[in-house]
């Protein structure tokens, strides 16, 4: 599924949020956060929607190995 951040089309963000809210078959949602960039505005909005909706989710930090000196990648 495409992201809602850099390089994304605005209408995709709206559709992604609808999908996350309405798709009853989803037992868990995963929100990937780029650890190098940090939490962005779009991430905050999606988190708020997930929390307000009582939707199960897990945060996943990507690129963590790049900010801790590559130790995790070994």
Domain ranges in the chain are: 23-65
pLDDT at 71: 57
Predicted pLDDT at 12: 67
Instruction: Tell me the C-alpha distance between 73 and 69, whole Å.
Output: 9
| Contact yes or no for 36/28 (Cβ under 8 A) | no
Q: What is the pLDDT of residue 22?
A: 83
The whole-number pLDDT of residue 51 equals 93
The tens digit of pLDDT for each residue in 17-56 reads 788 788 888 889 899 999 888 898 888 988 998 899 898 9
> CB count, 10 Å around CB of 40?
14
Residue 30 is predicted with a pLDDT of: 92
In this structure, are residues 72 and 65 in contact, taking their beta carbons and an 8 Å threshold? yes
H/E element, 16: helix 10-22
Residue 38 is encoded by which pair of tokens?
Answer: 């940090």
Residue appearing with tokens 């009853």: 24
Selected residue with higher pLDDT from 20 and 6 = 20
Give the global pTM: 0.68
């Amino acid at each position: 599924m495409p992201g809602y951040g850099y390089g994304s089309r605005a209408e995709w963000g709206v559709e992604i949020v609808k999908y996350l809210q309405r798709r009853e078959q989803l037992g868990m949602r995963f929100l990937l956060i780029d650890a190098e960039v940090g939490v962005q505005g779009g991430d905050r909005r999606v988190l708020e929607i997930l929390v307000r909706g009582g939707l199960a989710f897990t945060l996943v930090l990507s690129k963590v190995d790049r900010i801790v000196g590559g130790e995790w990648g070994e």
